[in-house]
Amino acid sequence: MKLRVEFTTEPFDLDQPPHHAVVAREIVQAAELDAVDVGPFGNTAEGSASAVLAAVNKLLRKSLDAGATRVSLQVNVVGEGEE
């Protein structure tokens, strides 16, 4: 199964990315995912179910530890495939 995760971390800072946002982006960029798109107000990543779920687990733990007060995410099934 292939999954897509869309996420944002808060609080926002329009002048520069807050530490928790940088941490979250580094996690998904370092994960073994097929596609990653980072932006100022939202980020997406796609990959196998195991890779996405592992990245989400780490993303939640590390971004909250780095000062995020809210992490909003949505996970969608986008295709079938080998694990």
Burial of 70 (0-12, 13-18, 19+ CB in 10 A): exposed
SS3 state at 7: strand
Q: What's the confidence (pLDDT) of residue 68?
A: 96
Q: What is the pLDDT of residues 20-72, one digit of tens each?
A: 999 999 999 999 999 999 887 789 999 999 999 999 999 999 999 999 999 99
Domain 2-70 -> CATH class: alpha beta
Buried b or exposed e, range 4-28, using 16+ CB within 10 angstroms: bbebbbeeeeeeebbebbebbbebb
Domain boundaries in the chain?
A: 2-70
Q: Whole-model pTM?
A: 0.87
- Give me the sheet containing 70-79, strands edge to edge: 35-38, 43-48, 2-10, 70-79
